[in-house]
Amino acid sequence: MKYILTLIAFSFIFITKAQSDEKSEKILNQVSKEIKALNSFYLEFSIQINNTATGENSNEKGKGYVKGDKFNAEVAGNELISNGIKIWTIVHDSEVVYESDADDDDEESINPKKLMTLWETGFKSKYVKEETLNNQKVHVISLYPVNPKEVQYHTITLYIAQGTNELKKAIMKTKDGGTMTYSISKFTKNIDVPADKLIFDARKYPNYQIIKD
């Protein structure tokens, strides 16, 4: 399970920002600006993992709510809840809840807001081309890690819609020959997020073991 969570989070390792080409940086800065200006948002996504070396071939669906620094994310039958101070990772199969500080930005956290702005630090970017994705014009931008020896991938390719500046798809190429495709099927801005989505209530999980980091 932790392997899947790590891949979904695209190995969030935040380092210094490297030099990027002007066109890609301008587009990515605009996307980040618009995401951060939102009061809240909701997204639905799928994550497909293929690796001939390991024999893995999986496709999971997920969804996420974000309001300010708070979020709720569901993927592969498990859930993450953050009140902006703590994050609770609820693993239903093993009936375990992992509690950690929200500012512990390790590579296994799934914060939907960070998924939508993953390029901000730790990468250099390059504008590749324009193309059509699902009948929509998109910018294709490649990300390269600043410290490639510290991560398990070598390239992430982003597909960003022209006009709306919304991330539509990201493809990660791993060093062992694997491919992970993250596709956003729905993105709704400034929604009313149900209050109970952003609160962890231990009473809902009476038989679960709570492990605090």
- Domain spans of the chain, in order of start: 2-212
Is the backbone of residue 200 left (phi > 0), alpha (psi -120 to 50) or beta?
beta
Of 34-43, 100-109, 159-168, give the lowest mean pLDDT range: 100-109
By CB atoms closer than 10 A (0-12, 13-18, 19+), residue 34 is middle
Q: What is the chain's Cα-based Rg?
A: 17
Report residue 189's pLDDT band, with 50, 70 and 90 as the boundaries: very high
- Order across the sheet with 167-174: list the strands: 123-133, 136-145, 153-161, 167-174, 179-189, 40-51, 56-67, 70-75, 78-82, 86-91, 96-101, 209-212
**73-111: per-residue pLDDT in tens?**
998 888 999 998 999 999 999 999 999 988 764 443 455
Q: How far apart are CA 12 and CA 15, in angstroms?
A: 10
Tell the CATH superfamily of the 2-212 domain: Lipoprotein localisation LolA/LolB/LppX (2.50.20.10)
Q: Determine the average pLDDT of the residues in 10-23.
A: 49
